[in-house]
Amino acid sequence: MDASATHDPAPAAPAPAPARPTSRPAPSPAVLAVWEAEDGRCEACGRPMDKTCAQVGRDKRGERRLVCPDCKTQQPDPLAAAVVGPKTAGVLAATLGTDLAAASAWLIAGLQGAGVVLRLQQDRRLYWLPGVGIFSLVPNRQRGGPSIIGGLVKLEPRPEIRTRPQARTRGLPRLRAPGPVSGPSSAAPGAGG
């Protein structure tokens, strides 16, 4: 008998699962406790974030401090230099009943002031602007160009930015936030080694 010959057909391979973004593991109980105590807001810049994006560091006194991914790495807010993509600006302008420039300025100001970091992925971030929708921030295909707010994931039928004040805090002094963006290719001070 030939070892390579079979009389039974090989079982069908299972269908590949649809590609989904890899989810981050749930934060540790200690990180979650700090996230809840600070109402999910960075103790340096004040940016709200989903608990899956929460990171902690220790201050000079040894206290655990909740920081957003940018403050953890001492990088400026990527939204400070971002531009709105033309498709997203067009959809938003039509929904708001305004022009592209006004819709873009409104979205950028809203995301900078109230955008919640939902997900961090290798090549993009997702932000939720309460009352408006979910937007992605992706790198520019042109080297050194600003990041692009696009990839509209969800838009409310009547967008209106909804903010709420921070409900809980431990009352510790604010940490120092990274400085503003000084150029597309510049590194933040203190970001090295």
Domains, the chain, in order of start with CATH, read 29-72 (3.40.1800.10), 78-155 (no CATH)
Distance CA(118)–CA(163), nearest Å, equals 16
Q: What is the mean pLDDT of the chain?
A: 80
Positions of the chain with pLDDT lower than 50, given as ranges: 1-22, 182-193
The pLDDT assigned to 18 comes to 44
Hey, is 92 helix, strand or coil? helix
Q: Which residue has the tokens 């560091």?
A: 57
The pLDDT assigned to 168 comes to 86
Distance CA(80)–CA(117), nearest Å, equals 14
The pLDDT assigned to 85 comes to 93
Q: How many CA atoms lie less than 13 Å away from 181 in the CB half-sphere?
A: 15
Hey, is 155 helix, strand or coil? strand
Sign of CA dihedral 147, 153, 156, 162: negative
Distance CA(110)–CA(135), nearest Å, equals 12
The pLDDT assigned to 180 comes to 64
The pLDDT assigned to 5 comes to 40
